[in-house]
Structure 1
Amino acid sequence: MNSSEWFNEISDQLWPGQCFSLKVKRVLHEERSAFQDIKVLDTVSYGTVLVLDGIIQCTERDEFAYQEMIAFLPLCSHPNPKKVLIVGGGDGGVAREVVKHPLVEEVHQVEIDDRVVELSKKYLPFMACGFDSPKLKLTIGDGFEYMKQREGEFDVIITDSSDPIGPAESLFQESYFGLAKRALKPNGIICSQGGTFWVNMNHVKETMDHCKKNFPVVGYGLASVPSYPSGQIGFFIASLNKHTIFKNPTKTFSDEEVDQMKLRYYTTEMHRTAFTLPRYAAKHLY
C-alpha cells in the first residue's frame, strides 16, 4: 500500500451494507498465521492498527476505551477479584488494565495465536506492555481446553475475542459460557466482548440468551470506541451471585486513584452509566 490507499473493513456476514475505511501510510506487517490473516497498519488518523481476518481489532487512537471497560466493569463488580483469567487478548491490552486493579494478585492468560502476541510486542508495545507484569502468566493454547482442566479456580474470567467468525466463533456459544461457569469460583463473574446491537441485534440477543442459561444475573454494558462498527461496543457480563447489581460497583475509585492507574476512559461514573441502554435495545435484550 502507498499513502493514497485505504484499508476498507467490509464484512457482509457481520455488518452487511456498511464499510469503515482508514487511510494507510504504510503496511508495517502482514502474514498468514496458523489461525488467521494478520495485518499491522500505520494509518493517518488512528495510528498503529491491528487487523485480523480483515477486521480491525484495535487502534492506537482509541484502544484504551475498550481495554479499560472490558477489564474494570467485571473487576469492579466483584468484591475481591484476586485471581483472573483472560481468554484471548493477544495484543496485551486487557492484561495491561487487569494488573492495575489493586485487588488483583494473579492473572492467567491463554491466547491461541502466538504470532499475535509476538507482533504486538513489536508493533503495539503500548499494549503489549501488559505481558511484562509479574502478576501475569501467559499460556499459548486453546481457551476451551485450558478451562476444561480448571474447575472453580477464578474469581473473574474476561474473554477478549475477535468477532464470532473464524477462530473465535466458539467463544459465543452456550457451551463456552457453561465451561466458563465451571471454571469460576462461587460468586464469580465473566465478561466477554459483545458486539453492537446497532448492526447485529439478533446476534447480541442470541448470545445473551446463551449466557442467561448458565448465570442468574446477566447484563450488557456499553463503551464508545470510534473505530468499531457503529462507534459503540458492548460487553456481556454475568455473575454467579444472584445479588449482583452491575450498575452498582463494589469497588469505587477516586479521581486521584484513576489518575494513578493512568485510566483514560473508565471511572466509577462511567461504570454506572455503562448499563443504561437505549429504550429499544433494553426492551429487546431484557
Structure 2
Amino acid sequence: MTDWFTEKQTEHVGVTMAIEETLHSEKTAFQQLDMVKTRQFGNMLLLDGMVMTTEKDEFVYHEMVTHVPLFTHPHPKHVLVVGGGDGGAIREVLKHPSVEKATLVEIDGKVIEYAKKYLPTIAGSLSDNRVEVKVDDGFAHIAHAKEAYDVIMVDSTEPVGPAVKLFERGFYEGIARALKPDGLFVAQTDNPWFQPELLAKVYTDIQEIFPITRVYTANIPTYPSGLWTFTIGSKQYDPTKVASTRFHTLETKYYTPALHMAAFALPKFVQDLLK
C-alpha cells in the first residue's frame, strides 16, 4: 500500500506525492509540523500541509535566496535569516568568507529540532561557531534592531499563520531600519501564477521604501507552479549590476554568476504584474 499526500495549492489545483513513511507529526505552538519520507523527493518538511523543503530540490531555493543578495553586497559581514529553521539558508550563507556572523531567528523551535534530526544535510551548519540561533519572533527581532545587518533574508512560509505579518509593509519598514546604510534584503514572494496579487502588493510596498527593488525567479518543482519569485530591496547596490570581479567560486548545484543575471529577466506577464 502507498499513502499519498496532496498539497492543495488553490481551490482547484493540488500536487500529489507518494509517501513511504511519516517520520514525525506534531501540532506545535504555532503550526502543524509533519516530517515525511517521500518516494520522489526524499525526506520532506510540511508545515500546515504545505511543502517547505525536501532533500532532493532544497538546493535551488536555498542557493537563490542567499547567493543573489550576498554577491550583490560587496562586503556582507553580518547576516540575518528570519525564519529558515531548516538551516538551509544558513548553510549557504556560511559559504561566503566575508560573513563574520549569521543570525537565525526562527519562531518555532520544533522546526529546528526536527530538521536537525531528519534533514541533517540541510541543517548541519546550525552548530557552526559563526551562527547564532534564536528561537524568537522575527517580526519583534526586526523591530528592535537598528542598523545591525548588512543583509537580511526573509525565509518564511507562505502568508498564513505566524508568517502573515512578514508580508506587511510595516515589516519591510522595520527591515529598512535594521539594515546598515548600504544594506539590502531579500524575501521569498511566492509565485505569480496562483498569488499574483501578493507579489504585486509586496513589490509595491518594498518599492516605496527602498530605492532599488528587483524581482527574480527560480524553478523549484515542489513549490506551487514551480516558478518561484524573490524580491530584493536595496539601499544602494543593484543586483543586476554586479561586477564580474565580485563573483568567486562556490560549491553550488543551481546558482551560477550567469544565472544570477538571467534570473532577473522576467516573463512578460510577471513584468505586467509589477507595473
- Specify which of 20, 25, 38 is matched with residue 30 of structure 1: 25
Report the counterpart of residue 280 of structure 1 in structure 2.
269
User: Which of 248, 260, 264 in structure 2 is aligned with 1:271?
Assistant: 260
Cα distance in 2 for partners of 1:281, 1:145 equals 32
Q: Is the 8 A contact 2:189 2:198 kept in 1?
A: no
CA deviation after TM superposition for structure 1 residue 16, in Å: 3.2
Matched, 1:93 2:88: yes
Please tell me whether residue 134 in structure 1 is matched to residue 123 in structure 2: no
SS of the equivalent of 1:283 reads helix
Find the aligned partners of 1:44 and 1:252 in 2 and give their Cα distance.
Answer: 40
Which residue of structure 2 aligns with residue 111 of structure 1? 106
Within-5 A mapping of 1:59-78: 59-78=54-73
Q: Give the root-mean-square deviation of aligned CA atoms.
A: 1.2
Name the SS of the counterpart of 2:51 in structure 1.
strand
TM-score (norm 2): 0.97
Match for residue 4 of structure 1? 2
Please report how far the alpha carbon of residue 33 of structure 1 lies from its aligned counterpart in structure 2 after TM superposition: 0.4
Determine which of 222, 239, 243 is the counterpart of 1:246.
Answer: 239
Distance 1:53 1:172 in 2: 18
Identity %: 37
Question: Counterparts of 2:104 and 2:60 in 1: how far apart (Å)?
Answer: 20
In structure 2, what is the equivalent of residue 171 of structure 1? 166
**SS of the residue 2:104 aligns to:** strand
Question: Does residue 56 in structure 1 map to residue 45 in structure 2?
Answer: no
Matched pairs, number: 274
Kept in 2: contact 1:158–1:191 (CA 8 A): yes
- TM-aligned CA deviation for residue 230 of structure 1: 0.8
The 2-side partners of 1:192 and 1:130 are apart by 21
For 1:185 and 1:253, the matched residues in 2 are separated by 22
TM-score, length of structure 1 as denominator length: 0.93
Q: CA deviation at 1:205?
A: 0.1
Instruction: Give unmatched runs, 5+ long, in structure 2.
Output: none
1:80 aligned to 56, 70, 75, which one? Answer: 75
Task: Check whether the contact 2:183–2:235 (CA below 8 A) recurs between aligned residues.
Answer: yes
CA contact (8 A) 2:102 2:132 kept: yes
- C-alpha deviations, 1:151-192, integer Å up to 9, x for none? 011000000000001110100000000000000000110001
After superposing on structure 2, the runs of 4+ consecutive aligned residues of structure 1 that deviate more than 6 Å are none
Work out which of the residue numbers 207, 214, 217 in structure 2 matches 1:219. 214
Task: Report SS of the residue matched to 2:209.
Answer: coil
Equivalent residue of 2:99, what SS? coil
Q: Does structure 1 conserve the Cα–Cα contact (< 8 Å) formed by 2:74 and 2:246?
A: no
Give me the whole-angstrom Cα distance separating, in 1, the residues matched to 2:238 and 2:183. 13
Distance 1:64 1:204 in 2: 23
Does the residue aligned with 1:229 lie in a helix, a strand or coil? coil
Q: Which residue of the partner structure matches residue 120 of structure 2?
A: 125
What SS is found at the alignment partner of 2:195? helix
Is 1:45 the equivalent of 2:40?
yes
Alignment of 1:187-266 (within 5 A): 187-241=182-236, 244-250=237-243, 252-253=246-247, 257-258=249-250, 262-266=251-255
How many Å separate the matches in 2 of 1:59 and 1:51?
Answer: 9
Q: Is the 8 A contact 1:94 1:130 kept in 2?
A: no
